[in-house]
Each structure stands twice: as C-alpha cells, then as structure tokens.
Amino acid sequence: MKKSKEETAKTRKKIIQVAAREFRRRGLHETGVADIMAAAGLTQGGFYRHFNSKEHLVAEACGASMQELVDSVKKSIQSGNDAFLKHVERFLSNEHCQDLLSGCPLVFVGSELARADHETRKAVSEGYRGLVEAISNDERYKDSSTARAEAIFILSAMIGAVTLARIADDGKLSTMILDETRKHLMALHPNIAQKKNKDVVPVAQAQK
C-alpha cells in the first residue's frame, strides 16, 4: 500500500506533530515509538520509513515545537498590541503549566534535553536563539542596546518559574511562583508595567 508523495509528507508531518505533543506530555524517554505511531493512527513498523531512529524524531519534534513557538511570538509581536505582554502573561499562566499542545519544550523536557544528542540540542538551541531574537526585536526594546541581554534574562526567569511551578506539589505554591515571577518581570519593564492595568488580556483569551 504505497502512498503518494503528498500523503507520505503528510504522514511524516503528522508523526512529528503527535510526537511533539507526546514527548511534552510524557517525556522523551518514557514515550515509546509504538505509542507515538498509535497516536498518529499507524503501527510501529512503519516508523522507520520516515525516520532512521527514535533519536532523529526527538530532534525533529523538539525542533519543530521550538520553531512553532518562535513563529507564534514573532507573528504576534509584529502585529503589535502589547504582544510581548500577552506572551509573558500566557507563558506564566497555570494553563501553560499543563498545556501540552503548544507548551515550551525547554520547560516540559528541559532536563532531558540537556542529556539529548547533539542534533537535538542543536535544533532546540536554534529555537532558543530565535526566541531571544524575537523578544529583543519587540518594539519596546528597539532603542535598547541591552535588548538581547534582557530577553535572555526574561526567558531564564520564565522557564525556571514554569519548571518549578510544574514540580510544586501545591497549587498555591505554583501560582505564587508564577505570579511573583510575572510581577518582577513587569516591574523590570516600566513600559509593560504602565500598560498592565489598562488592557491585560485574560489568560484563557491570550492562549492562541
């Protein structure tokens, strides 16, 4: 049952998308090839028509997740409308802590990525660089020569906060970690803080 080239490409894409979700949900090591294929509506045997190994899929899936995130940030920043504020709000929400559809791999499989092969780390690192660029290109930072440095710091704080909020065994503590981090980041950036009480978008709405 050979498939057309378009169908093959579609299947490959589907596997990557499903894998990206499953990896975030259950972890890189705990998610099996058979699980992913089943979730994509296929059987495990066909996997190796698309990928040389599970590791290659890990690299592609994590890279794709990162790229999706970068595109989302870039797109909404270009559209203006306090896009960056929305992203900080959304990133530091309880919803993102549980969101496996568009969650950030740096949070959901962060410590596993540090042990991943070179290909995976390269793909993810490129995504990270893209995020830094996207954030530092935000209009409110245009004049600042420290835009990159600030973007790096903001990302560290956000990713650490969500990582910790996901570990915490107490919902109140999780919320506190997210809230305090958001407040501090807001305080860091007066032009964001100014807007804060005007037109903050509810988290659920900010979720694309």
Buried b (16+ CB within 10 A) or exposed e, 122-158: ebbeebbebbbebbbbbebbeeeeebeebbbebbebb
- The single residue among 47, 51, 91, 128 that binds a second copy, judged by CB under 8 A, is 128
- The single residue among 7, 95, 180, 199 that binds a second copy, judged by CB under 8 A, is 180
- The single residue among 129, 139, 194, 208 that binds a second copy, judged by CB under 8 A, is 129
Instruction: Give the contacts of 67 (CB within 8 A, at least 6 positions apart).
Output: 127, 130
Shortest approach of a second copy to residue 89 CB, angstroms? 16
Taking a C-beta distance cutoff of 8 angstroms, is the pair 195, 84 a contact? no
Q: Residue 42 binds which entry of DNA, a second copy, none, with Cβ cut-offs from 5 to 8 Å by kind? A: DNA
- Does position 78 interact with DNA (CB under 7 A)? The reply is no
- Does position 108 interact with a second copy (CB under 8 A)? The reply is yes
Distance CA 113, CA 115 (A): 5
Nearer to a second copy, 14 or 56 (CB): 56
Distance CA 116, CA 139 (A): 35
Smallest CA-to-CA distance from 84 within 126, 142, 42 is with 142
- Does position 153 interact with DNA (CB under 7 A)? The reply is no
Shortest approach of DNA to residue 166 CB, angstroms? 22
Residues making contact with DNA (CB under 7 A) = 1-5, 7-8, 11, 31-35, 37, 42-50, 53-55
